[in-house]
């Protein structure tokens, strides 16, 4: 479904984006048998082609839904590459969000890095690492990430290692 977003006429896509975002986010809860990476891939494609003003009211919900998908305990022996695919697709979504909504993403990541739980800090560090390696620099985050490099927590230290 996601490759078809580019083929839709702009008026049709723009009028259906709010319902598409809602439907895609509900698929995570309502269709647990559906591979999550397929839904996440659709969200990434939608974020890529959708006009910013239309997606903006939904961006907080998208970020809150994607955030826990970065923290996934993966059984490497189980042979389920869908965990890796979903993780990568979620990071791709964050890349699209950073491109169009950098101020909002900065605000959320800063909150998680400063006052979040250890898990929130690790997730935010993984997201920051991905964004920096993708060439997306969020200037407000650099001092906070630098401070976290000296965090005494072993888990946070290994997350950015």
Give 76-125 pLDDT, tens digit per residue: 565 566 667 888 899 999 999 998 898 898 889 888 888 888 888 888 88
Q: pLDDT band at residue 37, thresholds of 50, 70 and 90?
A: confident
Statement: residue 155 has pLDDT above 60: no
Place of tokens 């695919």: 85
Average pLDDT value over all residues in the chain: 81
Percent of the chain's residues with pLDDT above 90: 25
Which pLDDT band, with edges at 50, 70 and 90, does 149 fall under?
low
CB atoms within 10 A of CB 10: 9
Query: Measuring CA to CA, which residue among 83, 153, 84 is closest to residue 119?
Result: 153
Residue pair 3/45 in contact (Cβ under 8 Å)? The answer is yes
Helix (H, G, I), strand (E, B) or coil at 48: helix
Higher pLDDT pick, 159 / 107: 107
- Of 38-52, 62-76, 126-140, 141-155, the poorest mean pLDDT is in 141-155
pLDDT for residue 160 is more than 60: no
3-class SS at 21? helix
């Amino acid at each position: 479904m996601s490759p078809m977003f580019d083929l839709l006429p702009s008026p049709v896509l723009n009028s259906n984006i709010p319902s598409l975002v809602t439907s895609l986010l509900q698929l995570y809860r309502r269709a647990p048998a559906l591979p999550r990476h397929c839904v996440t891939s659709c969200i990434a494609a939608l974020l890529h082609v959708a006009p910013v003003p239309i997606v903006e009211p939904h961006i907080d919900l998208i970020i809150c839904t994607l955030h826990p998908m970065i923290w996934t305990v993966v059984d490497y022996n189980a042979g389920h590459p869908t965990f890796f695919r979903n993780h990568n697709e979620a990071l791709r979504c964050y890349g699209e969000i950073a491109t169009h909504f950098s101020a909002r993403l900065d605000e959320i990541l800063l909150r998680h890095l400063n006052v979040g739980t250890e898990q929130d800090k690790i997730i935010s560090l993984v997201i920051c690492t991905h964004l920096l390696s993708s060439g997306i620099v969020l200037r407000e985050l650099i001092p906070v990430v630098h401070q976290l490099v000296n965090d005494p927590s072993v888990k946070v230290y290994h997350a950015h290692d």
